[in-house]
Amino acid sequence: GAVVSQHPSRVICKSGTSVKIECRSLDFQATTMFWYRQFPKQSLMLMATSNEGSKATYEQGVEKDKFLINHASLTLSTLTVTSAHPEDSSFYICSAQLAGEGETQYFGPGTRLLVL
Amino acid sequence: RKEVEQDPGPFNVPEGATVAFNCTYSNSASQSFFWYRQDCRKEPKLLMSVYSSGNEDGRFTAQLNRASQYISLLIRDSKLSDSATYLCVVLTPFSGSARQLTFGSGTQLTVLP
């Protein structure tokens, strides 16, 4: 099946710093990538939909200036958490949609962010 | 009301038991339905799609009732390796022609030896 990678898998940072998370589709081109966040014992919540070459579409309540998304190529999307605070600590998961395969989304392994 | 609701559990069952999970969704325009499995601290993985006629994959059987907006997953002869959180996932219209996956909060299953 299609493989999606994320980097880093785990990051610990100080409050106020920015953290960049990369999501790559390794063996296919993804016109659309999705960024989710999951707090402990809660559901995955969609943060934004990222389309290659255009601006991301953010879900209600997600600050676009705080969570910067760049989808510069068909295999790479990045999420930058700017001025991170402890409440941003979460499990961030990306997924990529394979063009021509309908709605199938392939999930990355996730990035665990801890802001001290 | 949550868009996708599941009993959070936990369900603790002995090996070999049959266990059933239920899920309801609120958006009648939902178009596709899935069960995902998520192991602790890992990403979700697609277990199976759910079709209106019901479908089976080995020990797993999924059912969909569109009139009641209800989805179920039955696991027979449960194994230790089935221990995970099971997520009910619904594909719903988003805006325009876009659609998005909406996840339930998951039902935790522990299969005991």
The rounded distance, in Å, linking the Cα atoms of A30 and A50 is 10
Residue A101 pLDDT class (50, 70, 90 cuts): low
pLDDT of B9 reads: 86
- Rounded to the nearest angstrom, the minimum Cα separation between A107 and chain B is 7
Chain A partners within 8 Å of B37 (Cβ): none
Q: What is the pLDDT of residues A26-59, one digit of tens each?
A: 988 888 899 999 998 888 999 999 888 888 999 9
DSSP string, B22-76: EEEES-TT--EEEEEEE-TTS-EEEEEEE-TT-EEETTEEEEEETTTTEEEEEE-
A113 close to B (CB below 8 A):
no
Instruction: Show residues of chain B in contact with A104, CB under 8 Å.
Output: 46
- Under the banding of pLDDT at 50, 70 and 90, the label for residue A8 is very high
Three-state secondary-structure class, residue A86: helix
**Partner-chain contact A34 B100, CB within 8 Å:** yes
Cα–Cα distance, B77 to B95 (Å, whole number): 42
CB atoms within 10 A of CB B77: 11
Please give the interface size between A and B, counted as residue pairs whose CB atoms are below 8 Å apart. Answer: 42
